[in-house]
Amino acid sequence: MKFTKMHGCGNDYIYVDGAREHIDPALKPELVRRLSDRHFGIGGDGVIFINPSTEADFEMEMYNMDGSRAEMCGNGIRCVAKFVYDKHLTDKTSVSIISCGKVKYLELTVQNGKVSTVKVNMGAPVLEAADIPVISLKGDGKGTVIGEKIEAGGKTYEMTCMSMGNPHAVVFVDDVQNLPLEKIGPLFENHERFPKRVNTEFVKVIDREHVEMRVWERGTGETLACGTGACAVAVACILNGLTKEEITVKLSGGSLQIKWDKEADLVYMTGSADTVFEGEIEV
């Protein structure tokens, strides 16, 4: 099977052209776990199959490194756009990509015949508790979860929750660098208040235009970046009155520009997409 290793701000996945490589769907979870292993496989935060689609230009079929299917990946979808353009699967610089039934629209910036950065219309943030999903303190699944208390590991935090195609809990802290994320992350991911588990972003606000974050992703653990997480962070910052509508989110692997156009209720993410290497592996 031929593959391409790519990353967006260090959030690295193994990309496979699903139109050329036909893998039995029942075998994909185990294959994903094997390929994602950084010691015995190729190594990555997961695997993304790029498939033909009748509803958009392409389909993104994404799996976390534990073999579980994921609905959306902001860094991954930028790399999908670079993959299809750089490999001449399309000559368009405006493309649509569907993932788990949701279509996203992307604008590609091309330099020297290759995609360098991608701007993604990530759509509207989902704030209704039942649709995220998160169990709110109100207990009825209605309304928003903004600055709600949650207890994890004997400590009380405040979280703001939303879905950007996948569920997120944003927690503001004074220090992200020294946070014992490997201990705290799993407590949030598997907390009873998140029926489908959750991605958790721990955020320090630097000023009205800059924040830094670390992320614990469900099914993967800590990653160097999370595009949907950065979008969730921007929305949470604005909902809590902490930043402007357009901010730079500093992640462990790089930075993303995020804007929440509140009037149109659309979140835009702009960032890089990079190819690391290509290869072939026996499956």
The 10s digit of each residue's pLDDT in 184-216 is 999 999 999 999 999 999 999 999 999 999 999
What are the tokens at 217? 């992703």
**193, 185 Cβ separation under 8 angstroms:** no
User: Which member of 9, 161, 226, 231 is catalytic?
Assistant: 226
Distance from C-alpha of 219 to C-alpha of 199, rounded to nearest angstrom: 9
Q: Is the pTM of this model over 0.85?
A: yes
140 pLDDT higher than 80: no
Cα–Cα distances in angstroms (integers) from residue 99 to residues 1, 105, 178, 235, 244, in the given order: 22, 11, 35, 22, 29
Verify whether residue 73 is a known catalytic residue: yes
255 has which bridge partners?
A: 250
Q: Is the bond into 186 cis (omega within 30 degrees of 0)? A: no
Percentages helix, strand, coil for the chain (3-state, rounded to 5) are 20, 45, 40
Mean pLDDT of the chain: 97
Mean pLDDT calculated for residue range 25-34: 98
Residue 226 annotated to the active site: yes
- Specify the pairing of strand 246-251 against strand 94-99: unpaired
pLDDT at 139 > cutoff 80: no
Closest CA to 169 of 203, 220, 124, 142: 203
DSSP labels, 200-267: EEEEEEEETTEEEEEEEETTTEEES--HHHHHHHHHHHHHTT-S-SEEEEEETTEEEEEEEETTTTEE
DSSP conformation class of 126: B
Domains in the chain, CATH or no CATH each: 2-116+273-280 (3.10.310.10), 129-264 (3.10.310.10)
149-161: per-residue pLDDT in tens?
Answer: 999 999 999 999 9
Cα 224 to Cα 18: distance, rounded to the nearest angstrom: 26
Task: Mark out the alpha helices in the chain (DSSP H runs).
Answer: 28-36, 74-86, 181-189, 227-239
Task: Pick the catalytic residue from 73, 79, 161, 237.
Answer: 73
| Residue 141, Cβ density class (10 Å: 0-12 exposed, 13-18 middle, ≥19 buried) | middle
For 31-82, the pLDDT digits (tens) are 999 999 999 999 999 999 999 999 999 999 999 999 999 999 999 999 999 9
What is the rounded average pLDDT of the residues 252-256?
A: 97
